[in-house]
Amino acid sequence: MAQPMSTVADLIVRQLVDAGVRTLFGMPGGGSSLDVLDAAARAGMPFVMSHTETAGALMASAQAELTGKPGASIATLGPGVASLANGLAHARLDRVPLVVMTDGLPVAVRDVYEHQRIDHAALLGPVVKASVTLDGRHAASQVRAALRRAVTPPAGPVHLDCPSDIAQGPASETKTADPSGVEASGGSTEFGPPASLARTRRPVFIAGLGARAPETVARLRTLCERRGAPVLVTYKAKGVVPDDHPCFAGVFTHAAIDEPFVRSGDLIVGVGLDPVELLPRPWHYPQPLIVCGTWPIGERHVRPAVQATGDLSRTLDALDELLPRDTAWTSGEIRGQAERRRAAVRIEAPGFAPYRVIDAVSNVCPNARVTVDAGAHMFPVTALWPVRRPLDLLISNGLSTMGYALPAAIGAALLEPDRRVIAFTGDGGLLMCLAELSTAARARLPVTVVVFGDRSLSLIRIKQERKGFRSDGVAIGAVDWPAVARGFGLSGARATDAASLERAVEEAEAAGGPALVEAVVDPSVYPETLRAVRG
């Protein structure tokens, strides 16, 4: 029996498989996405249907962060492409390699019909590293170039627009020059320290999202342990130094709470630090800043005295040789800063204090991976959840988008189906991606969604009050979350204190499938929390 002809869709999927893509996500349309979906099935690549295109991109992004390989999702033309923008913006600002394939009108008629026709490349251009319309002759080199561009530091999303007649056409493996080239990492691989480096007695290390590779983690820990030097971590770098490590000095967001400790040092060393993670406020630390990374950073926000760009392991080895072995830091100073960070969110409330939610869940599932949505609940989660390894806490930090935690938890759980994932979200954030509860239920994933039920967009309400405005447009109202969960096929529960929350999480753990637990929290402490952390 003759083998079926290999198509451009088959070629795309083969290259995705070769690049390490594990799962295809998204929502198919009626054009080339169906060809790609069929080719994925023939290649044995699983497909997970999401209920919005953005959620599919977020699921794929979570897998990309965890594997270090590109994620992949599909969408239809027009409205599907428009719906993708938020997921692509996350991948761009959180430095995630992602390949998104969209339907395109057939070549012969794409300039004839107006229905659902928008300029995909123009729409997505600001949030992707490249947007390429595939053609039959050069599809192989186009896809290869796009994949390389996605993973070239800083990693990010690429867009492949595939006209339906091209996807169905015969594959051509013609080797041609890669269009557009590949972005170079730039910068210098030579480490040139400022004169003050050899005299430093109190270096402060700040680890960012570029420091999560295993070899970088090992070298940074060794370097700091030898000197008893403190390491602050950004949200995305939690676990680079474990929360219980003697060098761990807490989370760094460039907030007011960080400033006294950082100013007490005489040198700042950013390892994999990218300003995209920092709060948008002026960098006014007087001491020299050295930034070591695999890609150069812009100097509009922070202005390093030195940028050492290239192989980060080699850079840290050189730094280890140049820094003095003795520092003036004491373990009490470092531990004290970490405890101040935690104490800032441990604020009691008349009702169920938000920080007690974190304590209760971590008591039951201390080894779970967690995903965190944007919102007021983010402060206690990121400060208190005990993270011991990089990527055991996933968060959208560069974009800080709501509606992230549940899709990211689904992507993570599909990679490790024997490990529970806790998705911490506010009620507002969950409403933005509610249909993905169905995705978790279909796959019977070990995902527990913990909803901070305060019936409001609390962080926005606080900002309104600070400006002296009325709290308009932020009330969510009552939602029967346990009933919603059961309607989607999940177990559902409501907790009003730590004891009932622990019981609910224990039951979810024992049942093994997806669950939703509403923690009815007292939001009255959020203004004080925000003042303590951000000033």
What's the token pair of residue 149?
A: 């561009």
Q: Across-strand partners of 293? A: 309
Choose the final residue of a domain: 128, 151, 168. 168
* 243, 201: one domain: yes
Does residue 387 fall inside a structural domain?
yes
State residue 301's pLDDT score. Answer: 95
The reply to whether 188 falls in a domain is no
What is the DSSP secondary-structure string of 233-275? E-GGGTTSS-TTSTTEEEE--S-GGGHHHHHTSSEEEEES--G
Tokens of 415: 């990679």
Rounded to whole angstroms, how far apart are CA atoms 403 and 420? 19
pLDDT (0 to 100) of residue 117:
77
Looking at the DSSP bridge assignments, the partners of residue 283 are none
Out of 108-112, 120-124, 227-231, 473-477, which region has the weakest mean confidence (pLDDT)? 108-112
Same domain, 336 and 402: no
Residue-wise DSSP of 414-468? HH-TTS-EEEEEEHHHHHHTTTHHHHHHHTT--EEEEEEE-SB-HHHHHHHHHTT
Nearest to 240 by CA among 391, 121, 381, 113: 391
Residue 358: its pLDDT value, please?
A: 98
Same-domain pairing of 336 and 352: no
132, β-bridge pairs: 160
- How does DSSP assign 184-204, residue by residue? ---S-SS----GGGGG-SSEE
Q: What is the mean pLDDT of residues 434-443?
A: 97
The mean pLDDT of 455-478, rounded to a whole number, is 85
Q: Give the structural domain span for 273.
A: 195-340
Q: Does residue 521 share a domain with residue 412?
A: yes
Q: Are 12 and 38 in contact (CB under 8 A)?
A: no
Of 115, 150, 168, the domain-final residue: 168
Q: Is the pLDDT of residue 191 over 70?
A: no
What's at 191, amino acid-wise?
A: F
- Does one domain contain both 353 and 454? yes
Q: Which of 17, 404, 431, 469 is nearest to 236 (CA)?
A: 404
pTM of the model: 0.93
Cis peptide before 386 (omega within 30 of 0): no
Question: 257 lies in a domain?
Answer: yes
Residue 195 is predicted with a pLDDT of 53
CA–CA separation, 381 and 390 (whole Å)? 16
CATH number of the domain within which 276 lies: 3.40.50.1220
Q: Total domain count for the chain?
A: 3
The model's confidence at residue 135, banded by pLDDT at 50, 70 and 90, is confident
Percent of the chain at pLDDT above 70?
93
- Residue 245 and residue 378 in one domain: no
Instruction: Tell me the backbone φ, ψ of residue 150, rounded to 5 degrees.
Output: -60, -40
pLDDT in tens, 356-408: 999 999 999 999 999 999 999 999 999 999 999 999 999 999 999 999 999 99
Domain termination residue (choose one: 152, 168, 184): 168
Asked if the structure places residue 184 within a domain, the reply is: no
Question: What is the bridge-based pairing of β-strands 447-453 and 515-520?
Answer: parallel
Question: Do 493 and 363 share a structural domain?
Answer: yes
Of 176, 194, 100, nearest to 136 (Cα)? Answer: 176
Model confidence pLDDT, tens digit, residues 200-226:
999 999 999 999 999 999 999 999 999
- In angstroms, how far is the first alpha carbon of the chain from the final one? 72
Assess whether 392 and 518 both reside in one domain. yes
Per-residue burial over 349-361, b = 16 or more CB atoms within 10 Å of its CB, e = otherwise: beebbbbbbbbbb
Dihedral sign from CA coordinates of 44, 50, 54, 60: negative
Give the Cα separation of 394 and 401 in Å (integer): 12
Same domain, residue pair 393 and 524: yes
Residue 185 belongs to a domain: no
- Mean pLDDT, rounded, for 180-207: 64
Token pair, residue 517, equals 């637990």
CATH number of the domain where residue 32 is located: 3.40.50.970
